Structure 1
């Protein structure tokens, strides 16, 4: 095999590789020798694709759902039976009774799932991008009309919210950060933990978990009050500056210091550092995506970039793609009727990521001459995940009876894992497209074996965010009977009478069709690696309803929300209710000797002054989810021996003082409990973890443990962080429907054994 260009998807960093066959083994190296962005996972291609536990043949459930019993069937039989059952569901309950959860990055295709769903008439598409970047893109869109990307080449000031980059975690961005620091760029890190990245910082603001929005409001206050903003850009390009100034006037550094737990002088100084930079950047990070104040925080970050004049300088705002067929055009949203759009679950309560918000940009598309409905980061026209799972369980507001999970471990990808399990058990049909017998696959009726990234040709990116097209080449044929997601979707479409939507014989023919307007074939793009996908003329300026940067968002206002950012202290109503209901003796027993420990009470109040007072002693710790371990990717890669050896067990990070106070020991097992659920984790003392807080890892299950409900879904029901966090209305960002996982939820930690 000659050396080929491809994109690694062993994590979401998407590093570009050159891979060659050396003595029968695939060997990877950086695509650009001068930019060695490559982590250790990239060397595991053969170990992954040839793993003995990989599913390589279609499987059909035998016995009760979740029994763990399967039989091998042919693709023909599996697809025929799935199509018959899907048709029965659609004919009985309507097309909206089908819901799909997918991760396009993992299977390599954008647009085709929506194309089938739009053709059938189902609006109930969800993806975990609701919790990770996809939602950020929609808030950016409400302010700018698109998603800004940091221009690292010019950055002289970098502001990180919670990110910790390293050669093993997003190595490409780690290299860009190091290069910027080498040029003399200032680094400001906002993070309660003292991470490796924070140790590089010129300024480290160790704020209280979940208070980021209050900090940014104070920065905006300082910048406006001291006249540090870009007056010309604000006057010519922005709408809503006067009402913004009124909003942030009360948010003095002193007020934010009380909320965030950092010094007011440091808040004032870092605001000045940012505003005085020539080319500051705030790179994307998932920390802002999983808070109850997520919309406010992301919107405030967008405003900060704009009023300081960095949009179009160091913060690139790509135009909408135009030329080659985009994922959004391929999705063909014109196929789904207004009546079916109106049935989209969650659009009434949490509309920002739904068709209801997309409709607010119809005039923008007409003004700019955009010939399609943009689906930015696959989350501009999506249903609300919690509302979908609720309808699957209860039939309210209508029944959802068939569910497809495509290349994402749905059970462990959202909050309220218990409710998702219940939702899948209530279905008439569950289909999973996977590599492994994941906890989600264990609840399926059919498990379809998918190809992996080294076994497929990909026309990227699989979601629309910038006008560029990339090619990633297959390195091997798929193992066993593994097939592509395009094969599955097109074959189901044919069986459901929608075959005309997929006239292309295979994915390469589809790619040639998508590239034809650019005068390219996929084979030619493979040689190049990437190409621009044109831009639309910038008539009317920014792609917002007003054509300007909307500091006060008309889209949020029209959807019934505050058009300006603000901060609301998170509350854990579950913990408050449990505290109120618990007898005084139980609360004291749960707290142990802490009930009379004034020093601990002072620490807890300092760590969480308002929430701590309300939650009382039953749940004394603030919990933070989503710890990203370098040795895995979300819920994947725990099958790999070399990676598992680095992180053999799921660990809770606990401040050593709290370890001692609770009578715990390093390496001992403990129970971490919230009012919503309980997990078992190993204790890892960590000086970087603030006292009075706990941090728990994301997506832990054990592939070696017994599958099925009797085995706790391979221990997912014992270790999964989604068990700890509710998706109740009080714990979500109202505009987005996104659950709060980062600040405000209370927990307790108990020894085991």
Structure 2
């Protein structure tokens, strides 16, 4: 292998939402170096520290290369046929005795970063025929999904900030310099924000914490935790009161403006300043500056959507952009048009059936279905609550709910009660350690990649495809092959991988050909299939989606149109241009209009008013925080990202620390209604008095976990403190910010000095330019 020549491959990083282009030099299967791809059409050479870790992931000895099955209470290695046979033994009795309603599927965050997983999960969902689908979306963005659906007709129709052209950017509840952005695919936020300043623009950050993003802002407002919805409502109230509403080009497609005016009228800055902590004069000044800017946009993320009133806050972000004429215009909030298509690029322009919601409910708490999914806050109770319909079987796809779901300890206990628990995951994690069978996915360098998901929210329309950089071994299966084999088990047909794969693509072609607006309307499935030869699996699905998508060649109908072959010939990607106005064709609402005041959202204004009238509650509240060198729980086994000082710390203000007799390096007990934990204290004036902060994604302590590096750098799981019974009412999104907690003084434990060591290497927590 040492004699092999060096080779360079170009691929898109699949770790976070930035989708940066990478230039990777290999000798054989060994990664020698990684740098940002300077010719990438979107990232232009930028990458963060996570992008350099793909070689470590491939070499990680803890990354499973073959299946594991539970035998005598312990997991052991098995071959693929034995693992599939064990899965059939576990699931077939459940399906035959109780039916599919006693099974469930959970899809974690990493599936959104896997083309194979994302395009092939339907092989499991359609064959298992369970209505009990769960995903990480109800842990971080369901409130935003709901407002997108109610206002624009589809959960994924999300207006993103036109970062490269705006003159006034308001960032609320987001820290893109650490997170790299979320629901706004934009590599190199540092450069984009610098460019905003260079062109004379203004950056305002609204966040209780002095984040890295707040430190570079022109103005930083620090509201009370949990008051984002009230603050944004007060800005809308000012727009109406001071006659600054100018909807602009979107006005012909907006309805319920008079109703909106009436419902926001009571939320004046003067009434709310005691609740939000922001003086009314500051709110009015910000609103005036925002309304008068040549172009402006409000962008919000996890800090707004994972709170008790997350849906109201998400709604208000869109409302402020609409009322100031900044929806669907350059420099405002605009709708991407992804090359692989989505609901708002298919079917009849402007009109659609409306969003699916409330068609069925969970057994225990009667939580409603939304977009075909149930809320993760209810999964544990559906497993551990006795009675008819109790979940007996679970398929876990790329998820770690023991770490990511609220009330982690209950989730861990529930997973142990399953009769059949099968996971598709490359590690033995806090969650998969309870599985009966684990099927490992390929390393990112071994699989082809296209960001089907995140191009839907890109700040510029682009398309990038990456073939495998390292070929899989003969004894490995790709994720799509695993899913197809499981599909044949779940429906009892025992069909082969090829048969399931062929059935899925044929179904997609027939559905598309029935659409009179499609580029292949009326064409036969056999003809289209023949034009996709010799591709199989997700590459064949991707080629199909691209060719019938908004830039596609329509299988010969559009000369020079997009196809996977064209992307393969352009490894640095194809630039499809800046965001352009898309109203009204982007809508998919029943009446073809944007509802400015949807009833399900308005129903939550009463509880919000009662919370405002009750005033701020005394005591401490817990919030999460983002970290550049971490992505949920799935990079904590990567040595280069785990260097430097301990990052799983309880940050608290100097005032709160003195009151409790704490200082940096002490350990403290943190209690909530859901649980308690011991955390390492870090005193910091970045957090205001009354607030403590723990990063999410940490744990990795149990002995059974097969993640050596992660276990050497364990942390505490903030979600132990999250109460699964507290949710955002309209969306049932879990609440992870604003959790009431009690922090007790120094614990009688050995003091640790890990935090007191040197800071990480210079630049280690910074984004790395080319």
TM range (shorter): 0.7 to 0.9
Counterpart check, 1:660 vs 2:646: no
Q: What's the C-alpha RMSD, in Å, of the aligned pairs? A: 3.6
**C-alpha contact (below 8 Å) 1:552/1:564 kept by paired residues:** no
Establish whether residue 497 from structure 1 lines up as the match of residue 466 from structure 2: no
Structure 2 gap segments, 5+ residues each: 1-5, 182-186, 347-355, 506-535, 554-561, 749-770
In structure 1, what is the equivalent of residue 539 of structure 2? 508
Tell me: CA distance 1:223–1:471, structure 2 relative to 1, closer, same or farther (3 Å). Answer: same
1:404 corresponds to which residue? 395
Query: Are positions 1:611 and 2:607 aligned together?
Result: no
Q: Write the distance in 2 (CA, Å) between the matches of 1:641 and 1:716.
A: 10
Indicate how the Cα distance of structure 1 residues 633 and 95 shifts in structure 2: closer, same or farther if over 3 A, else same: same
State whether structure 2 residue 482 is matched by structure 1 residue 488. yes
TM-score, with structure 1 as normaliser: 0.80
Match in the other structure for 2:166: 155
Secondary structure of 1:283 counterpart: strand
Aligned partners of 1:87, 1:535: CA distance in 2, in Å? 51
Of 238, 244, 249 in structure 2, the residue corresponding to residue 228 of structure 1 is 244
The question of whether the paired residues in 1 share the 8 Å contact of 2:341 and 2:545 is answered with yes
Q: Which residue of 2 aligns with 1:527?
A: 569
- Cα distance change of structure 1 residues 536 and 164 upon mapping to structure 2, 3 Å threshold: closer
- Conserved 8 A contact 2:727-2:735: yes
Question: What is the deviation of 1:203?
Answer: 2.0
> Between Structure 1 and Structure 2, which shows a larger proportion of helix residues?
1
- After superposition, the C-alpha distances for 1:537-575 in whole angstroms (9 at most, x for unaligned) are 977773223322211115x37xxx62879835669xxxx
Contact 1:56 1:480 in 2 (8 A): no
Cα–Cα, structure 1 residues 167 and 648, in superposed 2: closer, same or farther, change >3 Å? Answer: closer
Number of residue-to-residue matches in the alignment: 663
Equivalence for 1:547: 592
Deviation at residue 708 of structure 1 after TM alignment: 6.4
Measure, in 1, the Cα distance between the counterparts of 2:286 and 2:419.
55
3-state SS of 1:683 partner: strand
**Which sits farther off after the overlay, 678-687 or 225-234?**
225-234
Rounded Cα–Cα distance in structure 1 between residues aligned with 2:416 and 2:713: 16
Aligned to 1:117: 125
3-state SS of the aligned residue for 2:328? coil
Find out whether 1:423 has 2:414 as its counterpart. Answer: yes
Which residue in the other structure is 2:745 paired with?
750
Measure how far apart 1:289 and its partner are.
1.7
Given the superposition, is the C-alpha separation of residues 167 and 388 from structure 1 closer, same or farther in structure 2, using an over 3 Å criterion? closer
- Structure 2 counterparts to residues 662-701 of structure 1, below 5 A: 662-701=660-699
Give the equivalent residue in structure 2 for 1:574.
none
| Between 501-510 and 642-651, the greater mean CA deviation after superposition | 501-510
Residue 738 of structure 1: aligned partner: 733
Which residue of the other structure, out of 261, 282, 303, is the alignment partner of 2:277? 261
Residue in structure 1 matched with residue 758 of structure 2 by the alignment: none
Three-state SS of the structure 2 residue aligned to 1:110 is helix
Q: Give, in whole Å, the separation in 2 of the partners of 1:522 and 1:234.
A: 35
Mapping 1:535-574, distance limit 5 Å: 542-553=587-598, 556=600, 562=603, 567-568=608-609
| Compared CA separation, residues 75 and 734, structure 1 to 2 (3 A) | same
1:55 aligned residue: 64
Deviations 1:309-331 (A, max 9, x none): 111113454377697688999xx
Quick one: structure 1 residues 186 and 537, their matched pair in 2 at CA, closer, same or farther if it must change by over 3 Å? closer
1:65-464 mapped onto 2 (5 Å cutoff): 69-102=74-107, 103=109, 104-108=111-115, 109-145=117-153, 146-166=157-177, 169-170=180-181, 172-230=188-246, 232-233=248-249, 235-313=251-329, 314-318=331-335, 342-343=359-360, 345=362, 349-351=366-368, 354=370, 380-395=371-386, 398-462=389-453
Query: Per the alignment, in what secondary structure is the counterpart of residue 85 of structure 1?
Result: helix
> 1:177, 1:139 → 2: CA distance?
27
Deviation at 1:460, TM superposition (A): 2.6
Is the Cα–Cα contact under 8 Å of residues 622 and 692 in structure 1 kept in the other structure? Answer: yes
Deviations 1:697-718 (A, max 9, x none): 1121236x62269x9x969998
CA contact (8 A) 2:127 2:487 kept: no
Counterpart of 2:351 in structure 1 is none
Q: For 1:631-665, what per-residue CA distance to the aligned partner results, in whole angstroms no more than 9, with x for missing partners?
A: 21111222222222224352000112222221122
Give deviations 1:38-57, integer Å, cap 9, x for gaps.
Answer: 11222222222111222222
Please give the secondary structure, in 2, of the residue aligned with 1:259.
Answer: helix
Within 5 Å, which residues of 2 pair with 1:571-610?
Answer: 609-610=615-616
Does residue 725 (structure 1) correspond to residue 718 (structure 2)? The answer is: no
Shift of 1:261: 0.8
Matches of 1:485 and 1:564, distance apart in 2: 44
Q: What CA distance in whole angstroms lies between the structure 1 residues aligned with 2:142 and 2:583?
A: 24
Q: Deviations over 1:212-261 (max 9, x none)?
A: 01100110011111111115557523211111111121111111211111
Provide the rounded CA distance (Å) in 1 between the counterparts of 2:100 and 2:455: 26
Where structure 1 has 5 or more consecutive residues not aligned to the other structure, the ranges are: 330-338, 355-379, 572-604, 613-619
d(CA) in 1 for partners of 2:55, 2:121: 28
